[in-house]
Amino acid sequence: MRRPAARQLALVALAGALVSTGAAAPPTSVAVPPKVPEAVGRGGAVASVDPDASAAGIAVLRSGGNAVDAAVATAAALGVTEPYSAGIGGGGYFVYYDAKSRRVHTVDGRETAPASATAELFQENGVPIPFAEGQTSGRGVGVPGTPATWRTVLDSWGSRPLGQLLRPAEKLARHGFTVDPTFRAQTEANEARFRDFPATRELFLPGGQLPVVGSTFKNPDLADTYAEIARKGTGAMYRGPIARDIVNTVRTPPVDPAATRIVRPGDLTAADLRAYGTKRQAPTHVRYRGLDVYSMAPSSSGGTTVGEALNILEGTDLAGLSESQYLHRFIEASRISFADRGRWVGDPAFEDVPTRELLSQRYADTRGCLIRPDRALTSPLAPGDPRRPVPCGSTGQTAPTTYEGENTTHLTVADRWGNVVSYTLTIESTGGSAITVPGRGFLLNNELTDFSFAPAAPGVPDPNLPGPGKRPRSSMSPTIVLEDGRPVLAVGSPGGATIITTVLQTLTGHLDRGLPLVEAIAAPRASQRNQTTTELEPGLWNSPLRAELEALGQGFRQNPEIGAATGVQRLPDGRWLAAAEKTRRGGGSAMVVRPQH
């Protein structure tokens, strides 16, 4: 563990940095809070992937704001420094523990399809279009939910006005942040897409070049947009000039005339934006090792899939197993729960989702008996029927795991009163649709590509086909764990469908295997999503454990990096521990209000 120091929030001057604004600018300097993966202290805690964003949240807590206030300030700052992961052009899921009532609440701020969307949204002449052509298009853009989420949570539980909470992010956008290797690498990975949209190119490829590591990146258009939302409220995203600009951008994507890329327009309308609303709903809940685990219900599949897997593992003493047997059980529970996710989970406003049955221990027991300690199951595994469970039985054909962009972001916050927030937000793919709203400084999501482009096979039910106003299925799994009604842990991660396995592995690594939270987050990951092979990070791929698991029939492929989790933990003496990644995405940023040893 790194020793939390009082200078945790001290600023490091980077003299002589270049300024990236799309035009030449004089040398300047920029202040950067240091990245620290673990911090312990009192007064509240924030963990995110970015130190500027964590610092924004800590400043709110220090000034007397609560966890909800700090979460909004942190999220707004992430929209500046992590614009390829999240922002006001996207959506997400907000899980909140209220210390006064000892209740967990959730807000579904997922993007929605236009009212004109049909099950054939991503088909032409009865054939699915190439995924890349849905990804970089107006057709993949859903109605953004992030601004409405901020309005909902602040109206419900906040204590500070939105304008005040947006001020740090507005300042960060106007004065700039320091480009790090991750930001440059993500820009480079999107360079071809970004060059095809003049507004995107001008913003993210200043002077036609990739941003330089160590330079200062400014986004004055986003600063102005934040200032407008601060004055008018989040309704400005859904009515008025900003809304008109969003609609025009989706319906007539501003493509460079010289580009050869096929960029399909979308059918988003002003009425779609006006009609958008978040959903306050009950969280998912399972009991695990005497603890209460709460997460996000559908339209996300995170809570049901993590919950089912935990129920499957409940009957096994994971603490007493060898490392290879622990990983074997974790992989198999993931495989089974993903088989059920693909068949049963979609937007409950449109689909009959058996959430209660998927989370029942009775059903988990009928599925868990499929696991053999000496032999791996084979994927794709057929789903079970949670309403008519048969011990060790399966029914029907499997539905594939649809692609989900991996470049989401997650933040966790706790305050001095004991309130806790676990919040995952996204614009889907790294860089979203790649389409920047001209003059507004933010990228639009491509979240509708989380829908199935077509049914898995003729006659196979698929709850995740597009529909009018429908929310695409997500894997976001913001999670809060309580003991006797009080929080002990909150965690979440980006990573598309790997979010579910990352959260599950972090929970079991900490709760069952006894790893400190920061080590449970840092541990090398595996991700099985009812696919023929399981993804392994290099730490497991290059480990003797791989051969032990292969001897059981497990098959693997390598993934250089899975997820980027953050968490907070309430220690027995009342202090907060904030934890983030040590190395993934260049390391995360954990901060507390008053650091203590």
Domain ranges of the chain: 6-276+405-450, 280-403+486-559
Rounded to an integer, the average pLDDT of 66-91 is 98
> Is 110 labelled a binding residue?
yes
Q: Which two tokens stand for residue 582?
A: 């040590």
The pLDDT tens digits of the residues spanning 170-187 come to: 999 999 999 999 999 999
> Is 450 labelled a binding residue?
yes
> For residue 34, what pLDDT is reported?
84
CB atoms < 10 A from the CB of 53, how many? Answer: 31
Distance (Å, whole) CA 32 – CA 52? 7
Residue 506: pLDDT band by 50, 70, 90 thresholds?
very high
Instruction: Outline where 267-425 has alpha helix (H).
Output: 270-275, 302-313, 323-344, 355-358, 361-368
> For residue 314, what pLDDT is reported?
97
Task: Indicate the length of the chain as a whole number.
Answer: 597
Rounded to an integer, the average pLDDT of 366-383 is 95
Contact 21, 386 (CB under 8 A): no
Distance (Å, whole) CA 237 – CA 244? 9
Distance (Å, whole) CA 15 – CA 218? 16
User: DSSP 3-state assignment of 170?
Assistant: helix
The pLDDT tens digits of the residues spanning 490-500 come to: 999 999 999 99
DSSP characters for 35-46? P-SEEEEEEEEE
Rounded to an integer, the average pLDDT of 394-406 is 64
> For residue 3, what pLDDT is reported?
31
Contact 342, 308 (CB under 8 A): no
Which residue type does 382 have? A
> Is 233 labelled a binding residue?
no
> Is 496 labelled a binding residue?
yes
- Judging by beta carbons within 10 Å of its beta carbon (0-12, 13-18, 19+), is residue 391 exposed, middle or buried? exposed
Active site residues: 408
Distance (Å, whole) CA 294 – CA 286? 7
Least confident of 189-193, 213-217, 400-404, 524-528: 400-404
> Is 475 labelled a binding residue?
yes
| CA distances (Å), origin 222, targets 349, 466, 506, 514 | 34, 31, 35, 43
Residue 404: pLDDT band by 50, 70, 90 thresholds?
low
Q: What is the pTM of this model?
A: 0.94
Q: Domain spanning 280-403+486-559 has what CATH number?
A: 1.10.246.130
- Summary mean pLDDT of the chain: 93
Percent of the chain clearing pLDDT 90 (strictly above): 90
The pLDDT tens digits of the residues spanning 329-347 come to: 999 999 999 999 999 999 9
pLDDT of 5 > 50? The answer is no
DSSP bridge partners of 566: 492, 580
